[in-house]
Chain A
Amino acid sequence: MSDIKSLPSSKTPEKVLAAVVAMRRAADQLERKAVKEAIEQGWSWSDVAEALGVSKQAAHKRHAAHIKNARVKLGKNNV
């Protein structure tokens, strides 16, 4: 298997691992934002789960509380 070209050389694991951590964190935050946006646009949890390639339960468990809290904060209780 060939390496991803833009990754730092695997001979510098500290750099590669730092990149992995940063990408994972960025992906988490991007996912959270996108799911919130999707739900606000009227997507169902089934649609979100399908798009993410996870089960509906997994998507709901991971994101529902944050979205609910964000809505409560904005004064929208109709979650």
Chain B
Amino acid sequence: MFKRILLRFRDMKTIGKLIPGADEQANIAGEEKPGAEHFVLSALNLEDGTARRAFEKFGVDSAKFQEAIKVQYDEALSSVSIAQEAIEITPEPIKSDKVVHDSQPSGQNLMKSLYALKKKDKERPLLGAHIIIVAASIEHGVIPRAFKVLGVDRGLLAKAAREELDAVQH
């Protein structure tokens, strides 16, 4: 019982870092609200290091994932004959002063799936690898397109993230 309370307290602390981290990543990219990809970037910065290590197995780090996000946007614009250079949009970082957190729908869905996953995994604290497992399960949108750019197989990434979870002592 006491262990559960401690775990819950730790999870709240992790969420307290994950969400502001996602907000920050979105604002750096010039977006008002974080999407699922910004939660992944935030997870890569979490102190437990499980998300970062799962990515490292594929030779990917935070900078490479950020670049892949940019590339998939550029490719999508190219597919409609718009060159990113042609419209000269360099995302300007946003300095947000909002008090209440709000995410893009993809970010909200990621958090819902994360809650469902964590509900099944009550013995472990919330870790970055949990977020990677959820991200790897997303079939459409920016995240799977970025993984495609990186040549990362989503199933293998989820497996790597699960191994990271298993390596953490209960």
Contacts and interface: CB of A to CB of B under 8 A. Distances in A.
A33 B79 contact: no
B99 to A, nearest CB: 12
Nearest to B145: A18
Nearest to A65: B97
B140 interface: yes
A17 B80 CA distance: 11
Interface residues of B, number: 25
A27 to B, nearest CB: 9
B11 to A, nearest CB: 31
**Interface on chain A toward B: helix, strand, loop, or mixed SS?**
helix
A10 to B, nearest CB: 12
A21 B89 contact: no
A21 B69 CA distance: 12
Given A22-B73, A69-B95, A6 B81 contact: yes
A45 B76 CA distance: 33
Interface string A1-45: 000101110000011011101110110111011001000000000
B50 interface: no
Interface string A47-79: 000000000000000000110011011000000
**Interface on chain B toward A: helix, strand, loop, or mixed SS?**
loop
B164 interface: no
B97 A19 contact: no
A66 B95 CA distance: 7
Interface string B39-82: 00000000000000000000000000000000011111101111
Contacts of B141: 21
A32 B142 CA distance: 22
Contacts of A22: 73-74, 76-77
Contacts of B96: 65-66, 69
A28 B29 CA distance: 12
A18 B89 contact: no
B72 A18 contact: yes
A41 to B, nearest CB: 17
Given A18-B72, A29-B30, A23 B80 contact: yes
Interface of A: 4, 6-8, 14-15, 17-19, 21-23, 25-26, 28-30, 32-33, 36, 65-66, 69-70, 72-73
